[in-house]
Amino acid sequence: MNQAVQEKPAAKRKPKETGVPDNKKYLHPLMSKNYGKWKYHDRPRPGVLHHVAHSGDQIWTVRAGTQRQMDVGTIRLLCDIADKYAEGHVRFTIRSNIEYMVSKAEKVDPLIAELEKHGFPVGGTGNSVSMIAHTQGWLHCDIPGTDASGVVKALMDELIVEFKREEMPNRVHLSTSCCEINCGGQADIAIIVQHTKPPVINHDLVANVCERPTVVARCPVAAIRPAMVNGKPSLEIDETKCMCCGACYPPCPPMQINDPEYSKLAIWVGGKNSNARGKPTFMKMVASGLPNNAPRWPEVSAVVKQILHVYKEDARPWERMADWIDRIGWPRFFEKTELPFTKYLIDDWRGSRSTFNASTHIRF
Ligand code: SF4
Ligand code: SF4
């Protein structure tokens, strides 16, 4: 018989999935046992969820705020608390809250007391201001124009009461982003770096550090072109086109855009990812040019608190920030919050022509 016919075909290699691991094995045993079989849930107090299963099992979830970027000592402390009260199980929410699941009602109050004794506030459930989703900032990333966890700490120090109570019209999600282009995401109120000057190029370094075609391709408005400077290959920027986005800085650090004076902070409102009541929405900028004033960013805190205060007073029950603004309209939003409406809030980027032309309100 022919040798080639006898050989077995090689077994097909199975694709290796490297996505999110199966979480079932990490769940609290009561959660696994009653997975998908819950009868109802309620909130006995802010920061505590109570789930009742069809089997009669009950579980209490206690939510506490954390600083997200934690040292090993803090993580060990949180784990010790889990061993003591929650059969060694915890989970983190997308806004960096830690949650402990406990199987007996009498464990809830001692757990809350222990968390608060160590400085972890309990709250963030229901219609509260949850912990701020934030990016890496100076600690881990190589391109930030400001800190992220620092802004969060300063702001949450002032909003802690709203974290511990459920007194907002609907839940309020906040986020911070320490550059204009990468992490962050949609939030009811977002604090985002805003560069106001084009990058300054260190021509001596460009030839050694940057892959010039990559940098040229990176610019969304084609403002960068190759150039010879002092006899060396470098780059130049057409500053009339540059919109100061900072996208060229990560692939080419000699194009420095971060500046102690001209890198500012802007505040955007009305974003959400959820489909509840209305479709997901994008944020709009409502305050620009706020000073990047570490370590407490008081100007940013003042504007965020101003917006939150008016929203709390004026929105109807269950209106998210976007729903509220939709109902009252942008002119009333600026009147009520007393924020100045300036030319810097108008989207004058030339690429937005097609967006404008999609509406019947503005055409050109
Ligand atoms: S927002 Fe930008 S600067 Fe901040 S961590 Fe993300 S990529 Fe880095
Ligand atoms: S900051 Fe943005 S728009 Fe300006 S040159 Fe760099 S990539 Fe282009």
Residue-level pLDDT at 5: 56
Cα–Cα nearest to 268, from 247, 236, 290, 237: 290
| 218-226, long-range: CB < 8 A, 24+ apart | 218/247, 218/248, 218/251, 219/247, 219/248, 220/245, 220/247, 220/351, 221/349, 221/350, 221/351, 223/198, 224/248
Are 300 and 151 within 8 A, CB to CB? yes
Q: What is the largest CA-CA distance in the chain?
A: 90
For atom 6 of ligand 2, the residue with the nearest CA is 248
What is the 358 CA–ligand 2 centroid distance (Å)? Answer: 26
Question: What is the best residue among 132, 152, 178 to mutate for testing ligand 1's pocket, by most ligand atoms within 8 Å of CB?
Answer: 178
Tell me the C-alpha distance between 255 and 229, whole Å. 14
Question: What is the best residue among 215, 248, 263, 350 to mutate for testing ligand 2's pocket, by most ligand atoms within 8 Å of CB?
Answer: 248
Tell me the C-alpha distance between 257 and 247, whole Å. 9
Residue-level pLDDT at 18: 74
Q: Is 270 in the pocket of ligand 1 (CB under 6 A)?
A: no
pLDDT in tens, the chain (364 residues): 455 556 777 777 777 767 777 888 889 999 999 999 999 999 999 999 999 999 999 999 999 999 888 899 999 999 999 999 999 999 999 888 999 999 999 999 999 999 999 999 999 999 999 999 888 888 888 899 998 878 888 999 999 999 999 999 999 999 999 998 878 788 999 999 999 999 999 999 998 999 999 999 999 999 999 999 989 999 999 999 999 999 999 999 999 999 999 999 999 999 998 888 888 899 999 999 999 999 999 999 999 999 999 999 999 999 999 999 999 999 999 999 999 999 999 877 767 777 666 666 665 5
How would you class 76 by CB atoms within 10 Å of its CB: exposed for 0-12, middle for 13-18, buried for 19 or more? exposed
Q: Helix crossing, 298-314 with 149-164: angle to 10°?
A: 30
Question: What is the best residue among 237, 239, 258 to mutate for testing ligand 2's pocket, by most ligand atoms within 8 Å of CB?
Answer: 237
> Beta-strand (E) ranges in 282-339?
284-290
Question: Which amino acid, one-letter code, is at 34?
Answer: N
Residue-level pLDDT at 357: 66
Query: What three-state secondary structure class fits 207?
Result: helix
- Sequence-distant (6+) residues with CB within 8 A of 149 are 67, 68, 69, 134, 137, 139
Cα–Cα nearest to 78, from 94, 62, 90: 90
Residue-level pLDDT at 1: 46
Q: Please report the atom of ligand 1 found closest to the CA of residue 250.
A: 7
> Beta-strand (E) ranges in 114-231?
133-134, 174-177, 189-195, 200-201, 224-229
Cα–Cα nearest to 132, from 187, 193, 91: 187
Q: Please report the atom of ligand 2 found closest to the CA of residue 238.
A: 5
Are 322 and 281 within 8 A, CB to CB? yes
Tokens of 26: 């990490």
CA 274 vs. chain centroid, Å, equals 14
Query: What three-state secondary structure class fits 311?
Result: helix
For atom 4 of ligand 2, the residue with the nearest CA is 242
Residue-level pLDDT at 299: 96
Residue-level pLDDT at 277: 82
- Sequence-distant (6+) residues with CB within 8 A of 28 are 59, 86, 87, 89, 101, 103
